[in-house]
Amino acid sequence: MHQESSQISRDSLDLTNKFIEPASPVERKVIAIWEECLEIENLGMDDDFFDLGGNSSNGAKLISLINETFAASFKTGALVQYCTPAAMVNLIESDEILALPSNVIAVRQTGNRPPLFLVHGAAGIVFPTPQLMAGFHDDQPVYAFQIRGFDGRDEPLDTVEEIAADYVDSMLQVNPEGPWFIAGYCAGSWIVVEMARRLEGMGKKAARLVLIDPGIQRGKMREQFDMRYSAPARIIKPVLSTSVLERLNFHSNWARFRCFLATGHWIDYREIGAFDVPAVRKWILSRKKNHMQRAVRIGQLKKKFESEMVEDEAVTLESTTDIILASAKLKHAFFNYANSAPLNQPVDIIVSRSREKELQNGNHPLNRILPRQNRIVSGEKHTDAVASSSPVNARIIQKMMDEANVVDPKQSLKTVA
């Protein structure tokens, strides 16, 4: 029995660009991959990925298939630069090799300004959209980091500190002399903090650090906050500490018990060392994939997709085993991060109104770790503050970079709204 295609027709879309039919074998293969991933028939060579409704989920699948088919090394975040089949074919056929570390994505390489480096959140990648990029000056170079292991070429790193050191090394390859501008989304803000510590240890300093709506991480950072910094702890610290310890021990033992039932190993699967045991590693990855399939079935994912904190779940839906592993290890790295040493550097925080209320607590880790902070309220909720479908954050960051007095004053600047 013939099964109807679930794809929609290009003709049904409100596209303004002219249809250009693929001509060469390479063009036809690229178009076939685009049609499969975007579920649209009869695509043309100049059709724009974002105009077609592309997102980080189908983008990850598209890039994976392109790389597999042509032995290429595209990165998902680079779709803003190679956003048409024609642009991809040109790079595939040119044999051009971009001299960049494998964990760095060139979002925009043109321009003479000092570059901006973007650090991902829980997704492990940054997915810049044309709307976001519109907030930067046209001649502002922008690079983004991609977690090791996302493309299957490297083993994922275990800790936030290791990831930060890796990113600093790569950043110095791209921009050896500075100045260095770094911005981090959500959980990735803690990678930025550790990058600043790393630079400081090398006798260097970032020109500007921007954190986009960071919070207290679920895991050891949250446990540390509950144990030491909550207001009741100052009054009934001995009793509270015992209660919190008992609760934390219960959660750890429950995690060990669940892992034992599934694998036969008495291990807290949330700890980093859990990945060293093959059976536990396999179970962790299976749990993550199953969790995402359940989320889709009950319709939660689409509703939450705008959030950077859950965008890693969307990416995982169309993911290879490599992406799932990299995502799971990144989650473990964030879970186990708890460096509370103060950073004696100015830090700008773009914060949602809801999270800004949390920061009124003087014992909040952000206030203890980042005593020299400048807050800019943007959006009501976390999803507003981290949204990549708006130029607002880019305008704020660009203005901060311009104010750092490292831009040639002869250059004309856009007005930052």
Q: Is there a single domain that holds both residue 127 and residue 23?
A: no
Structurally, how many domains does the chain consist of?
2
Which of 50, 74, 97 delimits the end of a domain? 97
Question: Does residue 5 fall inside a structural domain?
Answer: yes
- What residues contact 257, with CB distance under 8 A and at least 6 apart? none
Q: Is there a single domain that holds both residue 45 and residue 103?
A: no
Which structural domain, as residue segments, surrounds residue 4? Answer: 1-97
What is the full per-residue pLDDT of the chain (417 aa) written as tens digits? 444 456 788 888 888 899 999 998 899 999 999 999 999 999 999 999 989 988 877 888 888 888 888 877 787 777 888 889 999 998 888 755 556 888 998 899 888 899 999 999 988 888 888 899 999 999 999 999 999 988 777 889 989 999 999 999 999 999 999 899 999 999 999 999 999 999 999 999 999 999 999 988 778 888 777 766 554 444 444 444 444 445 556 566 767 767 777 777 777 767 777 777 888 777 777 777 666 555 545 444 444 443 433 444 444 445 567 777 888 889 889 989 988 889 999 999 999 998 898 888 877 888 888 999 999 999 888 888 888 888 999 999 999 999 986 544 334 333 333
Full strand arrangement of the beta sheet holding 347-351: 104-108, 142-145, 116-119, 181-185, 208-212, 347-351, 373-377
Q: Is there a single domain that holds both residue 81 and residue 128?
A: no
Q: Is there a single domain that holds both residue 18 and residue 30?
A: yes
| CB atoms inside a 10 Å sphere around CB 84 | 22
Q: Is there a single domain that holds both residue 275 and residue 303?
A: yes
Q: Is there a single domain that holds both residue 91 and residue 159?
A: no
What's the CA gap between 49 and 57, in Å, rounded? 12
Q: What is the pLDDT of residue 264?
A: 76
Q: What is the pLDDT of residue 293?
A: 58
Q: Is there a single domain that holds both residue 126 and residue 61?
A: no
Question: Does residue 412 fall inside a structural domain?
Answer: no
Q: Is there a single domain that holds both residue 92 and residue 107?
A: no
Question: Does residue 227 fall inside a structural domain?
Answer: yes
- CATH code of the domain in which 177 resides: 3.40.50.1820
Question: Does residue 6 fall inside a structural domain?
Answer: yes
Three-state secondary-structure class, residue 374: strand
Which of 35, 66, 97 delimits the end of a domain? 97
Question: Does residue 413 fall inside a structural domain?
Answer: no
Q: What is the pLDDT of residue 230?
A: 53
Which of 82, 97, 112 delimits the end of a domain? 97
Q: Is there a single domain that holds both residue 254 and residue 160?
A: yes
Q: Is there a single domain that holds both residue 91 and residue 166?
A: no
Q: Is there a single domain that holds both residue 61 and residue 191?
A: no
Question: Does residue 216 fall inside a structural domain?
Answer: yes
Question: Does residue 416 fall inside a structural domain?
Answer: no
Question: Does residue 411 fall inside a structural domain?
Answer: no
- CATH code of the domain in which 29 resides: 1.10.1200.10
Q: What is the pLDDT of residue 405?
A: 61
| E strands, 139-242, in order | 142-145, 181-185, 208-212
What's the CA gap between 88 and 46, in Å, rounded? 10
Q: Is there a single domain that holds both residue 80 and residue 159?
A: no
